[in-house]
Copies of this chain bind each other. A is one copy, B any other.
Amino acid sequence: MDFPAELKRLSSEVERGIDLYLPPASTPPGRLHEAMRYSLQAGGKRLRPVLVLATARLFPPQSPSPDPLAAAVAIECLHTYSLIHDDLPCMDNDDLRRGRPTAHRQFDEATALLAGDALLTHAFALLATAYASNPSLAHALVSELADASGSRRLIGGQMADLLAEKNERITAADLEFIHLSKTAAMIEAAMVLGGLIASADESAIATLRRAGRHLGLAFQIRDDVLDATADSATLGKTAGKDAKAGKTTFVKLHGLEESQRLARAQSDAARDAVRELRGDRGFLLALIDSMSTRAR
């Protein structure tokens, strides 16, 4: 398997899906729909939607086989909303995202706020409409995404992260809660959505959940390492901002070398979980590899 070519193919598929499943920029009010598309089409790694597509095809095709593309776009809408709101002045106050002005810099704060709200809402609308012919599946997808992105997980992790900035005594357990919630929850959800669409059985869903959790932690630890070691031009976002904000990161808590070892251990655990599944796992294993050794 040619991993870079296959990754490129899946990413292009995601780009096509985004264009297909978002309201046209000309839909009134135009400014809102332009801002939604501006943020969603800013590129990025497309990790979560690619995970949905790659996980779905691990399993034997059903008849009829629901297309995982809408779910892939839904999770990218949700991820993008969380970035738009996270970049706002009252949160991280960031000017740069994926090498371009953040939404509130390109438009204004109110438009960015509403575009984030609209992308969050659109994620659920899209799952409900695209899988309407299979209401049980649509319901399972909505449940999974709403749980992963709710006040106990994604949003809870962002709140805990903010609170941790003002707290000097963050423990390893606190930090793991933040990262499990803020990052791992959505990566886990991406793999579970892929499995649900492919009618994976309960045991396979549990395995995917475990794989996603480890992969999410590996990904976030790698993020901390990169924030401490890379420059803004390479990252496409402001580097060193964790240290500047006084944030407790894996690097601050465990040191650089131990953080790198922890990231490897988590990605090994993710790979072990994926190996428990049948199907052609080559691409998914290579993706896990690339995510935990990435340079940006």
> CA separation between A81 and B27, bound complex, in Å?
24
CB of A151 closer than 8 Å to a CB of B: yes
A128 in contact with B151 (CB, 8 Å): no
**Closest residue on chain B to residue A82 by CB atoms:** B117
Cα distance, A81 to B32, chains bound together (Å): 18
Q: Which residues of B lie under 8 Å from residue A151 when comparing CB positions?
A: 23, 27, 32-33, 36, 118, 121-122
Main secondary structure of the interface of A (DSSP, over half): helix
Confirm or deny: A239 has a beta carbon within 8 angstroms of a beta carbon on chain B: no
Interface residues of A in 22-81 (CB under 8 A from B): 23, 27-29, 31-33, 36, 81
Docked pose: A28 CA to B81 CA in angstroms? 22
Q: What's the least CB distance linking A189 to chain B, in Å?
A: 12
> What 7 A-B pairs have minimum CB-CB distances, sorted nearest first?
A90-B109, A125-B146, A118-B151, A135-B139, A128-B143, A32-B159, A135-B136
CB distance from A158 to the nearest CB of B (A): 6
28 contacts between A and B (CB under 8 A): A23-B151, A23-B152, A32-B156, A32-B159, A85-B113, A85-B114, A90-B110, A90-B113, A91-B110, A91-B113, A111-B159, A114-B158, A116-B117, A117-B117, A118-B151, A120-B120, A121-B146, A124-B146, A125-B143, A125-B147, A127-B142, A128-B139, A129-B143, A135-B136, A135-B140, A136-B136, A138-B139, A138-B142
A260 located at the interface, meaning its Cβ lies under 8 Å from any Cβ of chain B in the complex: no
Which chain A residues numbered 121 to 170 have a C-beta less than 8 Å away from chain B? 121-122, 124-125, 127-129, 132, 135-136, 138-140, 142-143, 146-147, 149-152, 155-156, 158-160, 162-163
In Å, the complex CA distance between A146 and B132 comes to 13
Check if A155 sits within 8 Å of B118, measured CB to CB. yes
Q: How far is the CA of A155 from the CA of B110 in the complex (A)?
A: 11
CB contacts (< 8 Å) of A109 on chain B: these are 90
A184 proximal to B (CB < 8 A): no
| A143 CB to nearest B CB, Å | 4
Binding site for B on A (CB under 8 A): 23, 27-29, 31-33, 36, 81, 85, 88, 90-91, 108-111, 113-114, 116-118, 120-122, 124-125, 127-129, 132, 135-136, 138-140, 142-143, 146-147, 149-152, 155-156, 158-160, 162-163, 177
| Bound complex: CA A229 to CA B152 (Å) | 43
Apart from A23-B152, A125-B143, what 10 extra A-B contacts exist at CB < 8 Å? Answer: A23-B151, A29-B159, A32-B151, A81-B117, A110-B162, A111-B162, A118-B156, A135-B139, A138-B139, A139-B139
Find chain B residues with CB under 8 A from A155 CB. Answer: 32, 114, 117-118, 121
Contacts of A127 in B (CB 8 A): 142
Please indicate the chain B residues that have their CB under 8 angstroms from the CB of A132 in the complex: 139, 143
